[in-house]
Amino acid sequence: MNHQQYFDANRDAWNKKTFVHKNSSFYDIVSFKADKTSLNEIELKELGSVNGKTLLHLQCHFGMDTLSWAREGAIVTGIDFSEEAIKTAEELREELNIPAEFICCNVYDTSQYINQQFDIVFTSYGVIGWLPELDAWAKVIAESLKVGGIFYMVEFHPVVWMLDEDFQYIKYYYHNESVVEDEQTGSYADRYADIHYKEYGWNHSIGEVLNSLIKHGLMILHFNEFNFSCYNCFNNLVQGEDGYWRVKGLENKIPMMYSLKATKKIE
């Protein structure tokens, strides 16, 4: 299969998942509509004030986080390649009357759709694993940022993606050695949902992430690793008193997420 065929299959899968996600308790759209932010303390704290800043959200899914940043005062644009996700994001925007622009495109094609540079580029939780390579991704980030602008990401750790679905043994490569093909039913937001699809992912080592950004002129300001997940989105997780989720039997032994802040030094 070529990259376009992988993207087409993944887009179909995300269209199916969006139908399930928007009605799931996992995404809790009811609380979101009642003004609860969908953002976590980590990104809120680490990114800091976004008030009055232009913010581009890459792979925004159906826009809850994008619209939450708008509620924090940012002037937001969200992009995602799932037509259903963007349609749902636009419906939410209209219903809640929150200013936001949403664009349906492949993240690799962002610069063809957006002729603007932003103060902030943001992406989070479950994004780069859908991308076969990071060089063109980092180029898009650099092209989308103003000089002095901030790129912020918070993402699941590649160590998590090395392990089998129940966290019992090492099943996959740490490095981006090959595509991982997966036949799935349900979704992380509703394991019993009546949807079936094939999807294709890639694991990206920390070195690959950092070097792709450095190569395109970004200077790393911080890189943090967390031994927990903000979300109960994997099998066998237990919730700690701090509210965060860890693998049962492996509590605090493995990294589960990382966050990264970088700035663009030169055009």
Ligand X SMILES: C[S@@+](CC[C@H](N)C(=O)[O-])C[C@H]1O[C@@H](n2cnc3c(N)ncnc32)[C@H](O)[C@@H]1O
- Residue among 126, 143, 173, 235 that touches ligand X (CB under 6 A): 126
Q: Are 260 and 153 in contact (CB under 8 A)?
A: yes
User: How far does Cα 79 stand from its chain's mean position?
Assistant: 11
Asked if 14 touches ligand X (CB under 6 A), the answer is yes
Give 32's contacts (C-beta < 8 A, 6+ positions apart): 38, 64, 67, 68
CA-to-CA distance for 22 and 231, rounded, in angstroms?
16
Secondary element (H or E) of residue 42: helix 41-47
Among 119-127, 159-167, 179-187, 234-242, which window interacts with ligand X (CB under 6 A)? 119-127
C-alpha span between 110 and 28 (Å, rounded): 29
Helix segments in 99-258, DSSP class H: 110-113, 135-144, 158-162, 206-215
CA distance 243 to 257: 15
Report the residue from 16, 61, 204, 216 that binds ligand X according to the rule CB under 6 A: 61
Task: Note whether 95 and 120 are within 8 A (CB).
Answer: no
Q: How many residues bind ligand X (CB under 6 A)?
A: 19
- Report the distance separating Cα 138 and Cα 179, nearest Å: 20
**Span 76-95, contacts to ligand X by CB under 6 A:** 80-82, 85
Question: Cα(240)–Cα(176) distance, rounded to whole angstroms?
Answer: 31
Which region, judged by CB under 6 A, interacts with ligand X, from 7-15, 190-198, 220-228, 257-265?
A: 7-15
| Stretch of 43-51, 94-102, 122-130, 157-165 contacting ligand X, by CB under 6 A | 122-130
CB of 265 to ligand X, least distance (A): 26
Burial class (CB in 10 A: 0-12, 13-18, 19+), 218: buried
- Contacting ligand X (CB under 6 A), which of 43, 65, 155, 199? 65
Residue at shortest CB range from ligand X: 126
Regarding 202 and contact with ligand X (CB under 6 A), the answer is no
Q: With CB under 6 A as the contact rule, which of the stretches 41-49, 123-131, 219-227, 243-251 interacts with ligand X?
A: 123-131
**Site for ligand X (CB under 6 A): which residue of 70, 107, 213, 218?**
107
Considering the complex, state which of residue 123 and residue 213 has its C-beta at the smaller distance from ligand X. 123
Of the pair 102, 252, the CB lying nearest ligand X is at: 102
Asked if 20 is part of the footprint of ligand X (rule: CB under 6 A), the reply reads no
- Chain residues that interact with ligand X, rule: CB under 6 A: 7, 10, 14, 59, 61, 64-65, 80-82, 85, 106-107, 124-127, 130-131
